[in-house]
């Protein structure tokens, strides 16, 4: 019996079920921090932007800055004198023969027959840090080497400004232009001009700019908090009222659950100030500022401080006038245009019209929680300045006290001035302010 023939018909089988479609979720919108981060630009472009900034500053303000003539010594800076006194084992400053009230350095405190520095301690700490190098190369500790002085007081603000503004503008080109507008088109330029002789007020302003920019960069970026606290320390140890920026940093610390870092940082910032107050004046709560008016008869500042106090709402109207409304004085003669102004200050909106973008783009920065917190912190600093007994000394044609919040403002509005029609405003404002300040100082 033969085997059945092999079945050669095609096999009928059910087709496999179709694969389930893959659902790809749409990409999440970028966070505010990611949106503000600078894009990946080539190293050549980044370096080129910085070199362009440095060249523009030298071209526009080189004859004013005269970096080759910069020096910092105890004769012009009481913080340097204080560091030299500490190295000699004393807390008070040495003074020459004669009446100590009249012979003491300007804006130093006279109390109990002794003279003390009242300015914040950053330059004092830096002088102590560099003292071995100074003593080795100069044979003395009460004068700085020119190279570290120029690097710290001139180049560190330039580098910090470019780094922060490039990041916030998301462009090396526009970041460099905004940094240039900040350096040559605000009171930063008069401070740089006066830093050539090491004057304490202007040196402190320049160093505070670095701290404010570092703080703002951390709050607008990764919010690791400790960089913001380092920046806040640099600012407070040069300009005490900037301590009010601790409030937006606290907001960020709470949001990121890093309050402990904020607390540790605040202790590290405040403790040295309180200890120095106790060593100088016998109380951690005594700043000594009221003692700088001993023997002075200038009623405008000294008498009202002694009568009313360091801070009072009674000063707000006058301070507000010189910060926000006081116009510069223009004089045209055969020698050319000369710009003058009241030494108590000149309107920041007229001298630096780029700042007008703060109210113009309020709808943009108010929606961003970090930018809103920084702006509210800056308003607290401004309010404190408006109640201070002094509108600001030696700020003819500018308003250097406003530097306590101007770099934060520029970091906040950077995305708007570097995009769309804001670029035209940035170019026009940078051009006008540069011409204004170079004419003022020329």
**Alpha-carbon dihedral 158, 159, 164, 168, rounded to 10 degrees:** 80
Low-confidence ranges of the chain (pLDDT < 50): 1-13, 21-32, 34-38
Category of 376 on φ-ψ map: left (φ > 0), alpha (ψ -120 to 50) or beta: alpha
Element housing 240 (H / E)? none
Would you state the pLDDT for residue 13?
Answer: 47
Residue 306 makes CB contacts below 8 A (sequence gap 6+) with 290, 293
Return the bridge partners of 388, or none: 311
As a whole number of Å, the end-to-end CA separation of the chain is 123
Which string of DSSP letters, residue by residue, matches 66-131?
A: -GGG---BTTT-HHHHHHHHHHTT-SSPP--SS-HHHHSPTT-EEETTEEE--S-SHHHHHHHHHH
Token look-up 């003395």 returns 140
Would you state the pLDDT for residue 40?
Answer: 72
CA atoms within 13 A on the CB side of 214: 21
Category of 257 on φ-ψ map: left (φ > 0), alpha (ψ -120 to 50) or beta: left
Instruction: For residue 4, tell me if it sits in a domain.
Output: no
Q: How far apart are CA 121 and CA 237, in angstroms?
A: 6
Q: Which two tokens stand for residue 172?
A: 């090396």
DSSP secondary structure code for residue 225 in this structure = S
- Yes or no: say if 416 and 424 are a contact pair by the CB < 8 Å rule: no
Would you state the pLDDT for residue 12?
Answer: 44
Q: How far apart are CA 344 and CA 78, in angstroms?
A: 23
Which string of DSSP letters, residue by residue, matches 29-50?
A: PPPHHHHHSPP---HHHHHHHH
Would you state the pLDDT for residue 7?
Answer: 47
**Residue 288, Cβ neighbours under 10 Å: how many?**
19
CA torsion through residues 163, 190, 348, 180, sign: negative
Instruction: For residue 11, tell me if it sits in a domain.
Output: no
Instruction: For residue 18, tell me if it sits in a domain.
Output: no
Burial 319-355 (b: 16+ CB within 10 A, else e): beebbbebebeeeeeeeeeebebbebbbbbebbbbbb
Q: Which two tokens stand for residue 173?
A: 């080109």
Instruction: For residue 350, tell me if it sits in a domain.
Output: yes
Instruction: For residue 232, tell me if it sits in a domain.
Output: yes
- Yes or no: say if 398 and 422 are a contact pair by the CB < 8 Å rule: no
What predicted TM-score, i.e. pTM, was given to this entire model?
A: 0.89
Q: Which domain holds residue 97?
A: 38-441
Give 273-320 pLDDT, tens digit per residue.
999 999 999 999 999 999 998 887 666 788 888 888 999 999 999 999
CA torsion through residues 154, 60, 195, 411, sign: negative
Which string of DSSP letters, residue by residue, matches 309-333?
A: -SB-GGGHHHHHHHHHTPPPEEEEE
In whole angstroms, how far apart are CA 354 and each of 137, 165, 292, 423?
44, 14, 36, 11
Q: How far apart are CA 123 and CA 237, in angstroms?
A: 8
Instruction: For residue 33, tell me if it sits in a domain.
Output: no
* 3-state helix/strand/coil string of 145-170: CHHHHHHHHHHHHHHHHHHHHHHHHC
Q: Which two tokens stand for residue 387?
A: 């109640």
Instruction: For residue 430, tell me if it sits in a domain.
Output: yes
Number of domains in the chain: 1
Instruction: For residue 44, tell me if it sits in a domain.
Output: yes
Q: What is the CA radius of gyration of the chain?
A: 28
Token look-up 């005490």 returns 240
Would you state the pLDDT for residue 102?
Answer: 75
Would you state the pLDDT for residue 339?
Answer: 85
Would you state the pLDDT for residue 306?
Answer: 83
Would you state the pLDDT for residue 25?
Answer: 43
Start-end of H helices in 170-199: 172-184, 188-195
Would you state the pLDDT for residue 33?
Answer: 57
Q: How far apart are CA 182 and CA 189, in angstroms?
A: 9
* Helix, strand, or coil (residue 342): coil
Give 80-124 pLDDT, tens digit per residue.
999 999 999 999 998 877 677 877 888 899 998 899 999 999 999
């Amino acid at each position: 019996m033969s085997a059945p023939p092999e079945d050669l018909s095609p096999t009928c089988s059910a087709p496999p079920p179709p694969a389930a479609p893959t659902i790809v979720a749409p990409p999440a919108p970028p966070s505010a921090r990611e949106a503000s981060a600078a894009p990946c630009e080539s190293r050549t472009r980044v370096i080129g932007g910085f070199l362009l900034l440095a060249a523009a500053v030298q071209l526009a303000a080189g004859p004013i800055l005269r970096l080759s003539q910069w020096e910092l010594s105890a004769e012009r800076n009481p913080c340097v004198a204080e560091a030299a006194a500490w190295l000699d084992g004393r807390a008070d400053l040495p003074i020459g023969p004669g009446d100590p009230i009249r012979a003491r350095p300007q804006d130093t405190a006279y109390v109990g027959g002794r003279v003390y520095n009242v300015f914040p301690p950053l330059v004092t700490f830096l002088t102590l840090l560099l003292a071995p190098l100074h003593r080795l190369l100069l044979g003395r500790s009460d004068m700085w080497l020119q190279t570290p002085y120029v690097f710290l007081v001139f180049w560190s603000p330039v580098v910090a400004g470019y780094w922060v503004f490039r990041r916030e503008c998301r462009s090396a080109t526009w970041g460099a232009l905004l940094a240039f507008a900040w350096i040559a088109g605000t009171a930063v330029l008069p401070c740089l001009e006066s830093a050539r002789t090491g004057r304490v007020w202007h040196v402190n302003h320049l160093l505070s700019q670095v701290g404010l920019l570092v703080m703002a960069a951390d709050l607008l970026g990764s919010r690791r908090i400790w960089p913001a606290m380092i920046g806040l320390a640099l600012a407070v140890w040069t300009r005490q009222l900037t301590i009010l920026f601790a409030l937006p940093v606290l907001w960020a610390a709470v949001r990121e659950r890093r309050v402990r870092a904020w607390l540790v940082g605040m202790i590290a910032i405040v403790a040295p100030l309180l200890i120095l107050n106790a060593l100088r004046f016998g109380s951690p709560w005594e700043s000594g500022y009221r003692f700088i008016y001993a023997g002075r008869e200038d009623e405008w500042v000294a008498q009202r401080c002694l009568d009313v106090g360091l801070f009072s709402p009674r000063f707000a109207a006058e301070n507000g006038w010189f910060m926000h409304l006081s116009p510069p004085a223009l004089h045209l003669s055969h020698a050319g245009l000369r710009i003058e102004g009241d030494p108590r200050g000149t309107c920041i909106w007229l001298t630096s019209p780029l700042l007008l973008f703060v109210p113009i783009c309020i709808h943009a920065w108010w929606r961003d929680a970090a930018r809103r917190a920084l702006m509210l912190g800056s308003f607290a600093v401004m309010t404190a300045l408006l109640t201070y007994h002094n509108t600001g000394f030696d700020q003819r044609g500018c308003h250097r006290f406003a530097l306590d919040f101007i770099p934060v403002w520029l970091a906040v509005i950077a995305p708007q001035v570097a995009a769309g029609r804001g670029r035209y405003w940035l170019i026009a404002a940078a051009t006008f302010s540069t011409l204004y300040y170079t004419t003022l100082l020329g």
